[in-house]
Amino acid sequence: MLRIIKSEDPFVQELQQLGKIEGEEVLPLVEEIIDNIKARGNSALIEYTKKFDGASFAEEDLKIDQAEIEEAYAKVTDGFLESLRAAIDKIYAFHQNQLQKSWWTMDGDGSLVGQMYLPLSRVGLYVPGGTAAYPSSVLMTAIPGLVAGVSELVMVSPPDKEGKINPYTLVAAAEVGISEIYKIGGAQAIAALSYGTQTIEKTDKIVGPGNIYVTMAKKVCYGDVGIDMLAGPSEILIVADDTANPVYLAADLLSQAEHDVLARAILVTPNEALAVETAAQIEKQLELLPRREIALKSLKERGAIIITSDLEEGIAIANFFAPEHLELALAEPISWLGKIKNAGAVFLGHYTPESLGDYYAGPSHVLPTGGTARFSSPLNVDMYLKKTSIISYTKEGLLKASRAVEELARIEGLHAHGLSIKVRK
């Protein structure tokens, strides 16, 4: 079921390519949806919500009201609230450590340069929904923005067929203080956040994961609105040595395979016996999963156990894949951490499953996928901030700089640039 291959097998290269975000086939529909939202606003939103989500309601019901929030609280358990609040505390604590301060430096002549960190004014949070509940995605997208000081956070999430957003998702939003929530999803929600409608004011940036229609809509709208990243299907790569427990490895691989048939779950190890034992454990644990068919298809088509010559080669493969989630199931994982160059998040040791990162540990679970960890970062506080440069020169400082500025302007043929210096001497 889960293929076991050598590191030189051509499927390793193919598997790496399978992580790339593909969505060209949906672009015509996505562009049509965006154009319709731009042209018709709310009426198009209502039509698409009925068409894609099966929910019918009037324009005035697009926005969640307080009665719906109270109704949601009545449906969740005390145990959920306790767990949610514990996770909120952890996520806040982590992101508060990311917050940077404005700074400046001054020369002896009084000239000053520096940088201001300014929060974005209005950010849209996309939270997947419909038939599923993702309260964790509310926390992971909202809390970094709250720490950054964003004044307006607006959440969108697709409704179910009754026109309701999942109560667990709504309660999570209420717990972190999001009061502007709209029951819309898909490419139409991205268009509404990008360009505005009669009811929804446009945002400066959109963050949060979604399906391929959401991802392609973010790609099309980028430039008119900021985005966090183009996120693809979930993925995990585990590098394991002979101290790893195959029961743990199987469970962690399945934790990603159950997300989506396009998810990738990969184990890399020099230990062939461990590979065989893990594959056997996966077959056993699959029988326990309600989402068995999804996980099975993911593992068959996009999963593998890769046998390497040693751990060094395993780490090299990990860097080649640049996975969203990287687990180091090793006896001394910290000693290998310095060799990791590309990963969205790294989980160290036998008692740090990826699910800790999804729900509780603190870092946002919105992570770069499909190899983009080579050049991009997890969702973080900086993504909700703008950096503005500050420059202030005295006359003495201007005179000291004048020769260099005038010469560079002359070389570039921009004479007015040089003149703006000369007239001040």
Just list the catalytic residues.
324-325
CB 293 within 8 A of CB 258: no
Q: DSSP class of residue 202?
A: P
Q: Classify each residue of 70-82 as buried b or exposed e, where b means 16 or more C-beta atoms within 10 Å of its C-beta.
A: eebeeebeeebee
| Amino acid, res. 341 | K
In 3-state terms, what secondary structure has residue 73? helix
CA distances from 393 to 80, 102, 104, 105 (A): 56, 18, 13, 12
CA dihedral 197→201→205→210, nearest 10 degrees, is -50
- Nearest-CA neighbor of 36 among 55, 58, 52, 60? 52
Strands (E) across 222-340 are located at: 226-227, 235-240, 264-269, 304-307, 325-329
The residue among 347, 296, 383 whose CA lies nearest residue 98 is 383
Q: Backbone phi, then psi, for 376, in 5-degree steps?
A: -135, 170
DSSP label at residue 193: H
Total residue count of the chain as it appears in this document: 425
Sheet holding 112-119, edge to edge: 103-106, 112-119, 385-392
On the 0-12 / 13-18 / 19+ scale of CB atoms within 10 A, 374 is middle
Judging by DSSP bridges, how do beta strands 103-106 and 112-119 pair with one another?
antiparallel
Closest Cα to residue 323, out of 347, 342, 350, 295?
A: 342
108 residue type, one letter: G
Instruction: Tell me how far CA of residue 160 lies from CA of 56, 131, 136, in angstroms.
Output: 10, 6, 18
How many C-beta neighbours within 10 Å does residue 406 have?
Answer: 18
